[in-house]
């Protein structure tokens, strides 16, 4: 098990992590769990048991700490991307579905409203994917997945990012 | 008021509903009530006193009786046809939406199952999704046919005999 602190990389710093290195993966994990807005190479990972890490803590530079093993790094590289992509695809499909139904139901609602014989019924009151998908736990996919990643990587926020 | 009997049109009958006629209207009304979205001329209608009605009835093929007045014919043209078209658009939207979400759910569930460390995450229930969209289809297709049935005093002949 190796513990890392993640700090913002100074704009003028020439140091970057080697491709495929543990540090590079740690920065990617940190970006994901922190919802860091920039690319992951704007971050640096420092082994927690080094003087640089202590100094970063003293200076309040460290954004978070993350612990990794070979197995959890493998998981990051193999599984997380697939699941993340699947969640993103699901959320897009859901947005598309809501859009389609909203539009078609809006037209139908309007037709009912403008009719003389069909007033008093609003189809969209009974047909909505929002509530139904929420009941199925679809709203929690992101949250649940993030939580399991936070536990797996023993993620701890050390400093809130400033806007 | 004229009462029409509506029959399933036999492919080789040579009959078609005259476009714009009340017979065509009666056939479309039967199509809406059946909720099957069959193509034009799948049904054929004859006024009850028409000689073809007797002939077809003898064959035991009548499926619906529909009553049309000038007033209800006007409602059909001014309101119901458009409403039926829009209800069908909702049905189509439900089908397209369910297809997209179904595929995305399967992909999500598969990605969890294929993973080494995330099999504990809860899979999304395909059954619940099916139930949800079935309910939507029922809701979107129930109201208009029910009202049409009422306005045109539609009678069903379950065994197709009159």
Q: Which residue among B92, B118, B144 places its CB closest to the CB of A148? A: B118
Q: How many CB atoms lie within 10 A of CB B151?
A: 20
CA distance A70 to chain B (A): 13
| Partners of B46 in beta bridges | B5
Q: Is residue A47 part of a domain?
A: yes
What distance in Å separates the CA atoms of residue B135 and residue A1, rounded to the nearest whole number?
A: 50
Beta strands across the sheet bearing B155-156: B43-47, B2-8, B62-68, B155-156
Same domain? A54 vs A94: no
What distance in Å separates the CA atoms of residue B90 and residue A102, rounded to the nearest whole number?
A: 9
Q: pTM (2 decimals)?
A: 0.74
Report residue B59's pLDDT band, with 50, 70 and 90 as the boundaries. Answer: low
Position B137 pLDDT exceeds 50: yes
Report residue B161's pLDDT band, with 50, 70 and 90 as the boundaries. Answer: very low
Same domain? A66 vs A102: no
Nearest to A9 by CA among A36, A48, A49: A36
Residue A43, pLDDT score: 94
Same domain? A52 vs A100: no
Position A1 pLDDT exceeds 80: yes
CB–CB of B143 and A118 under 8 A?
Answer: yes
Same domain? A22 vs A60: yes
Q: Which of A80, A96, A138, A145 would you mutate first to test chain B, the one with the most B CBs within 10 A?
A: A138
Residue A121, pLDDT score: 78
What distance in Å separates the CA atoms of residue A107 and residue B85, rounded to the nearest whole number?
A: 10
Q: B126 or A73, which is more confident? A: A73
In the three-class reduction of DSSP (H, G, I as helix; E, B as strand; rest coil), residue A102 is classed as helix
Q: Is residue A22 part of a domain?
A: yes
Lowest mean pLDDT among A35-44, B26-35, B54-63, B103-112: B54-63
Give the domain extent around A35: 2-73+153-157
Q: Which of A75, A81, A95, A111 would you mutate first to test chain B, the one with the most B CBs within 10 A?
A: A111
CB–CB of B116 and A78 under 8 A?
Answer: yes
- What is the value of ipTM here, to two decimals? 0.76
What is the number of domains present in chain A? 2
Same domain? A65 vs A83: no
CB–CB of B89 and A152 under 8 A?
Answer: no
Average pLDDT over residues A138-143: 82
Average pLDDT over residues A1-12: 89
Model confidence over B76-85: pLDDT tens digits? 999 899 889 9
Q: Which residue among A72, A78, A111 places its CB closest to the CB of B86? A: A111
Position A163 pLDDT exceeds 80: no
Give B129's contacts in chain A (Cβ within 8 Å): 136
Position B36 pLDDT exceeds 50: yes
Same domain? A38 vs A94: no
CA distance A83 to chain B (A): 5
Nearest to A138 by CA among A93, A99, A82, A101: A93
Nearest CA in chain B to A124: B140
Position B56 pLDDT exceeds 80: no
Q: B162 or A124, which is more confident? A: A124
Note whether A20 contacts B: Cβ–Cβ < 8 A. Answer: no
Q: Is residue A129 part of a domain?
A: yes
Note whether B92 contacts A: Cβ–Cβ < 8 A. Answer: yes
Burial class of residue B43, CB neighbours in 10 A (0-12, 13-18, 19+): buried
Same domain? A128 vs A83: yes
Cα–Cα–Cα angle for A59, A61, A63, rounded to 5 degrees = 145
Q: Is residue A96 part of a domain?
A: yes
User: Is residue B17 within 8 Å of B44, Cβ to Cβ?
Assistant: yes
Give A86's contacts in chain B (Cβ within 8 Å): 104, 107-108, 110-111
- C-alpha distances in Å from residue A53, one per residue of A45, A63, A155, A158, B85: 9, 11, 16, 12, 67
Average pLDDT over residues A92-108: 88
Same domain? A12 vs A59: yes
CB–CB of B132 and A129 under 8 A?
Answer: yes
Same domain? A45 vs A100: no
Which uninterrupted H or E stretch holds A162?
none
Report residue A116's pLDDT band, with 50, 70 and 90 as the boundaries. Answer: confident
Lowest mean pLDDT among A50-59, A120-129, B7-16, B61-70: A120-129
Same domain? A34 vs A52: yes
Report residue B69's pLDDT band, with 50, 70 and 90 as the boundaries. Answer: very high
Model confidence over A17-71: pLDDT tens digits? 888 899 999 999 999 999 999 899 899 999 999 998 898 888 888 999 999 999 9
Position B162 pLDDT exceeds 60: no
Q: Is residue A120 part of a domain?
A: yes
Average pLDDT over residues B71-96: 90
Q: How many CB atoms lie within 10 A of CB B81?
A: 14
Q: Is residue A163 part of a domain?
A: no
Same domain? A108 vs A83: yes
Phi and psi for A46 in degrees, rounded to 5? -125, 130
Note whether A73 contacts B: Cβ–Cβ < 8 A. Answer: no
What distance in Å separates the CA atoms of residue A91 and residue A57, rounded to the nearest whole number?
A: 37
Note whether A129 contacts B: Cβ–Cβ < 8 A. Answer: yes
- Please, which residues have CB within 8 angstroms of residue A50's CB and are 6 or more apart in sequence? none
Model confidence over A66-94: pLDDT tens digits? 999 999 999 998 899 899 999 999 999 98
Tokens 């999704």, residue located: B129
CA distance B108 to chain A (A): 5
């Amino acid at each position: 098990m190796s513990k890392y602190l993640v700090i913002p990389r100074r704009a003028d710093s020439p140091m970057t992590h080697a491709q495929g290195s543990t540090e590079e993966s740690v920065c990617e994990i940190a970006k994901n769990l922190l919802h860091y807005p920039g690319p992951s190479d704007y971050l640096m990972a420092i082994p927690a048991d080094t003087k640089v890490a202590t100094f970063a803590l003293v200076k309040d530079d460290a954004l978070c700490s993350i612990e990794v093993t070979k197995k959890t790094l493998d998981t990051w590289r193999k599984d997380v991307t697939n699941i993340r992509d699947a969640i993103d695809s699901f959320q897009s499909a859901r947005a598309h579905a809501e859009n389609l139904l909203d539009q078609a139901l809006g037209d139908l609602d309007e037709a009912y409203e403008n009719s003389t014989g069909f007033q008093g019924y609003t189809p969209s009151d009974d047909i909505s994917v929002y509530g139904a998908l929420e009941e199925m736990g679809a709203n929690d996919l992101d949250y649940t997945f993030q939580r399991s990643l936070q536990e797996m990587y023993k993620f701890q926020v050390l400093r809130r990012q400033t806007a | 008021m004229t009462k029409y009997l509506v029959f399933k049109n036999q492919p080789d009958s040579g009959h078609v509903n005259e476009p714009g006629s009340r017979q065509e209207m009666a056939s479309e009304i039967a199509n809406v009530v059946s909720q099957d979205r069959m193509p034009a001329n799948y049904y054929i209608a004859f006024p009850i006193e028409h000689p073809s009605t007797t002939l077809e009835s003898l064959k035991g093929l009548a499926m619906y009786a529909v009553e049309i007045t000038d007033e209800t014919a006007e409602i059909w043209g001014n309101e119901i046809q458009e409403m039926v078209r829009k209800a069908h658009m909702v049905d189509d939207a439900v089908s397209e939406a369910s297809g997209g979400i179904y595929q995305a759910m399967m992909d999500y569930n598969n990605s969890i199952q294929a993973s080494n460390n995330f099999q504990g995450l809860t899979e999304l229930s395909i059954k619940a999704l099916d139930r949800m969209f079935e309910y939507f289809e029922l809701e979107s297709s129930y109201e208009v046919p029910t009202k049409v049935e009422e306005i045109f005093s539609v009678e069903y002949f379950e065994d197709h005999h009159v």
